[in-house]
Structure formats: structure tokens, C-alpha cells
Structure 1
Amino acid sequence: MKEKYLEALMDMACRFGETSEATRLKVGSLLYKNDNIIALGTNGTRAGWHTNKCEDESGQTTQAVRHSEIACLDKLRKSTETSIGATLFVSHCPCLACSVELVEAGIEQVFYRHEYRSSDGIEYLKKHGIPTLKI
């Protein structure tokens, strides 16, 4: 894939993340396969949840919040497309829990822009043969 397309897709994931209702950290992701965006996700609560707030009164993330990577996979599950062989673009590198799900989903590679507080997720992806690159 050409560098300019990598940058454009990463910019799209980051821009989409800005639509998140989170106040602390807005994260966006997109899945790309066969020259098409097949799913988008942001961190936040599930549709139909009683609130869109991601943090409680003390500023801590609530248990109801799902990360953007999981939201992206959840949206894809409602389509006829499969995640096997897809590429993930995500504004912030995945946490360990999300990385486990990405491996199970058959994601082929992961591009991210910002570091996360832990590199466990990236290490897990690499350990399982999934190339990762900060762009």
C-alpha cells in the first residue's frame, strides 16, 4: 500500500475518533480490506445504553465503555464481511485485551499513531505474528 494511503487512512481513523463522547481520550479505528473501509469504531458505550458518557463523576472510565477496536469488530459482525485478513488503523495502539480479540478476529496487520500507557498489546500482536507499525 502506498505511503500516502497509509497516512490518509490513519488520518481518517484519528478524525473519526474525535466523534467519541469520551472526555479523557478519544480513540478511533477503522478496518480496511480489499481496498475498502469495512468498519469504523470509536471508544464509547454501546447503542441503547442509558448514557453516552464514558467517564464517571470522578473521571474514571466506566465498565460499560468498549474500546474502539471492539466497537469496530462489533459493527463488522453485523455485516456480511469478515475481519480475516483485514488491516486495522487505530489512533492509539491497542491494549492487551483488544489485541487478544484482534488476533482471534484474524486481523493481518495493525497501524497506529499514538502510544498507549502500556506496550503489552503491541507485544502480544507481534508475538502472534501480526505486524504493527506506528505511523
Structure 2
Amino acid sequence: MTNEERKEMYQEWENFVFEIFCQMKKNDGHDSRCALLIETIKDLGEYIRFDTTAFIEAISKYDKEACKPDVEPKVGGIYRVTHDVYFGDEVCLWKGDIVKIISNFRKVSYEVQSLMPIKYDNGKWWLTLGCLEEV
């Protein structure tokens, strides 16, 4: 390989790495970053003529397991609140309160009914998965 060819190869590689860096900074959200990572690995494999199929499968499996929630809440299930939940300056649910899930919104937030003595209205609140643990 001549110095000129090596210089050209280096510049292509430098451009590729910079493009990856810029794309990673732009993407928000776990799913878009993982998709970009997989595409980058595929591109790298093509670039160096290496089959990345097994590596990508391993990464996808790892990501699926790592992102699996500790709790898969179900409507009607009984759960414990993991930390105080505030409404303004007031605590509406205390850490350790027991709640029942009465509905969900795309498995992102859950409407719960407190099963403890309550201070406000009917004791119904919307919580995210991070606020619940199995009893």
C-alpha cells in the first residue's frame, strides 16, 4: 500500500468515525441509540470485511434482557409504592403504601387506587413503573 492510499484510507476512516460520533450525539432515546449502534456495527463489519451477525444477535439479546423491567404490572395487581409521591408540596402516596392497578396507559404509566387510608379525594393517582414494586 502506498502512502497516498494509506492517507486516503485514513481520511475515509476518520470521516466514518466522526459521522458515528455526530449521529450518536443527535439520537435521543434508548431505542434509537441501540438501532444506531447496531447499524454502526454492521457498517464496521462491512468496512473491515467481517461478519458481525453473531455479535449483533448477542447485543440484541443482551439489550432485551437488560431492559426487561423488574416488574410487569398487571391491571388488578397489588403493588407497593417505592418512594413518596408528591402532588405539589403535599405527599399523596407514601413510600410503602399498598396500591392496586386499575388501568394503564401503554405500559408507561399506571392508574393506581390506594388501599391505605387516604388524605386526598379517592386515592387514585397515575404512577410510572419506577414507583412500583411487587408485594
Structure 1 length-normalised TM: 0.26
Q: Which has the larger radius of gyration?
A: 2
Higher helix share: 2
Structure 2 length-normalised TM: 0.26
Higher relative contact order (CA 8 A, sep 6+): 1
